[in-house]
């Protein structure tokens, strides 16, 4: 999938809040090696660097465009273009951090044990993923993709809900670690704009589907999705739109 930093950063404020919450809960005093998996434009990596300035940071991402922004902001960090499914550290890190990225990877029952195995003794895996797939902003992406003349082009790309129930992660991770701190937050995001929920998903869930279509068909699919989303999220009296968004967090120490 192609990531567009400008579209993604249009909602920088609400997208950064969970990064702060996750970093704050990590109890490591002075990690030596920190890896940010799916670092994107590197805002989380930089926040961690401000907390642990002496650590060595590696930011890994599959998007050259996202990494270019990250590199502009801090050339001193080791930015690596790689597929998270394949990347392996040379030296075991003390902290593997991942904000809003691992839901793009499949097979979580294999992924999380693999990440835990990469850590140095006493190391920490800190993860945040959206768990909002039944809210209309996201469910309407798949619903609209399967409900129109564009269906034959999009059907194979429609992803099933990638993030499981909290119990799944508890049962997978707790037996492998010393401590596990898990929580969920429902962020009530207050957004500006004409159809801001549709604009939000354009920078993420809608993007691969839009990229798979051309010309009039792309416009028609986009317009139909935007119509459905606008109806599902009516504006408040002050013109703002509420976009409630659930996210799951966990911090595991091996
Ligand atoms: C929603 S963005 C989050 C970026 C950043 N962690 C943040 O909080 O702003 C997801 C990032 O994961 C990256 N990503 C998704 N799947 C990937 C994969 N298989 N390999 C490498 N990067 C991937 C994307 O390129 C994108 O930059």
> Long-range contacts of range 14-21, CB-CB < 8 Å, 24 or more positions apart?
14/187, 14/189, 14/191, 14/245, 15/100, 16/43, 17/187, 18/99, 18/100, 18/128, 18/185, 18/187, 18/247, 18/249, 19/43, 19/44, 19/47, 19/99, 19/128, 20/47, 21/128, 21/185, 21/249
**pLDDT at position 188 over 80:** yes
Average pLDDT score over residue span 10-21: 85
What's the predicted TM-score (pTM) here? 0.93
How high does pLDDT run on average in the chain? Answer: 95
User: How do the domains of the chain map onto residue ranges?
Assistant: 5-253
Contact 221, 144 (CB under 8 A): yes
- What is the CATH architecture assignment of 5-253? 3-Layer(aba) Sandwich (3.40)
Ligand 1 contacts CB of residue 100 (under 6 A): yes
pLDDT for position 15: 87
Instruction: Give the closest residue (by CA) to ligand 1 atom 13.
Output: 38
pLDDT tens, residue by residue, 25-62: 999 999 999 999 999 999 999 999 999 999 999 999 99
Shortest CA distance to 96 belongs to which of 84, 82, 83?
84
> How many Cα neighbours within 13 Å face the side chain of 79?
24
CA-to-CA distance for 41 and 16, rounded, in angstroms? 11
Contact 41, 49 (CB under 8 A): no
Ligand 1 contacts CB of residue 2 (under 6 A): no
Atom of ligand 1 nearest to the CA of 98: 6
Contact 80, 59 (CB under 8 A): yes
Atom of ligand 1 nearest to the CA of 61: 22
Average pLDDT score over residue span 12-37: 94
CA-to-CA distance for 121 and 113, rounded, in angstroms? 14
Instruction: Collapse the DSSP code of 76 into the 3-class scheme (helix H, G, I; strand E, B; otherwise coil) and give the result.
Output: coil
Contact 169, 248 (CB under 8 A): yes
**pLDDT at position 191 over 70:** yes
Give the range among 6-20, 158-172, 214-228 with minimum mean pLDDT: 6-20
């Amino acid at each position: 999938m192609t990531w567009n930093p400008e579209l993604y950063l249009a909602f920088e404020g609400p997208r950064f809040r969970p990064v702060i919450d996750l970093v704050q809960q990590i109890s490591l005093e002075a990690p030596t090696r920190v890896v940010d998996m799916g670092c994107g434009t590197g805002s989380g990596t930089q926040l961690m660097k401000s907390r642990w300035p002496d650590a060595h940071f590696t930011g890994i991402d599959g998007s050259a465009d996202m990494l270019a922004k990250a590199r502009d902001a801090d050339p001193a960090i080791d930015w690596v273009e790689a597929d998270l499914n394949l990347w392996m550290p040379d030296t075991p890190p003390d902290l593997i951090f991942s904000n809003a990225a691992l839901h793009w990877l499949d097979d979580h029952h294999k992924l999380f044990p693999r990440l835990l195995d990469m850590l140095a003794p006493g190391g920490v895996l800190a993860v945040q993923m959206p768990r909002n797939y039944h809210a209309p902003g996201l469910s309407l992406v798949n619903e609209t993709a399967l409900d129109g003349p564009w269906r034959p082009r999009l059907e194979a790309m429609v992803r099933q809900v990638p993030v499981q129930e909290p119990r799944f992660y508890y049962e997978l991770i707790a037996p492998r670690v010393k401590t596990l701190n898990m929580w969920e937050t429902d962020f009530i995001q207050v957004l500006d704009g004409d159809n801001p929920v549709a604009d939000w998903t354009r920078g993420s869930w809608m993007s691969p589907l839009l990229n798979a279509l051309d010309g009039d068909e792309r416009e028609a699919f986009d317009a139909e999705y935007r119509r459905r989303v606008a109806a599902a999220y009516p504006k408040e009296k002050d013109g703002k739109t509420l976009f409630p968004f659930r996210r799951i967090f966990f911090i595991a120490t091996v």
